[in-house]
Structure 1
Amino acid sequence: MAEPDGTSTDRVPASCTLPTVEQPVRLAEFDELFATAVRSVHRAAPSRLRLELAPDPEVAARVADLMVRESGCCSFFAFTLSMADHRLRCDVTVPTERVRVLDALTARALTGGNRG
């Protein structure tokens, strides 16, 4: 079911090209990341989310892989992965018209992938 802005009620945007059957699997990947690797969640701006992650090479690789695959189906996401001062960060930016998608992603991150 889509909302007026083209976003589905579970916050998967209608413009997402990931096959519907694969969307729950991708969402579970994000949830697993949020539950196991996210140390803090900060909404830096309405269109930008910052996740501080466990500074581990395996986490960095997992995040990078997920970013590449997510950008392939939802090209409006801009991801930046950085490491400085023993802090691993992932910044997620969206255009203004996609803020509701980022709102949903932020909510999931804040609740540890809705496992909390």
Structure 2
Amino acid sequence: MRAPRMRQQVMLENPGPPVVDPVTGNERPGPPIATPSRAYLEQRSLYAQQEYQASQSTATTDFILLVPAGTPLTMDSTVIDEAGARYVVVGHPAERRARLNGGRVRYIAAWLRLVSDLQGVS
């Protein structure tokens, strides 16, 4: 199976190296490291709409993301699309290998989740 063409641009935010808090001396997450990447991003399903309060509901949508081999994508990454929507990675991204050519990694696939606030939508 051929990988779809990766024509979209996304930004991957990964946690930066820990830094020491000067006041407490404890380690805390450092600033995120942003990496631009070309990608294939496709919606898979709008699988749940839940009402948490009478005036607010949310929709959870799943997406599939494909990025080139060697892209720093982990389960701790945040993916930001061209419109600024932020997606969380669900589970571990998987390397997809070619069946020929010694099984080299062709691309990385990940399942993403987008949670949208539908407050005020009628």
TM-score range, shorter chain: 0.3 to 0.5
Taking structure 1 as the reference length, the TM-score comes to 0.36
Highest relative contact order (Cα 8 Å, sep 6+), 1 or 2? 1
Q: Normalized per residue, which structure has more strand?
A: 2
Q: Normalized per residue, which structure has more helix?
A: 1
Between structure 1 and structure 2, the one with the greater Rg is 2
Taking structure 2 as the reference length, the TM-score comes to 0.35
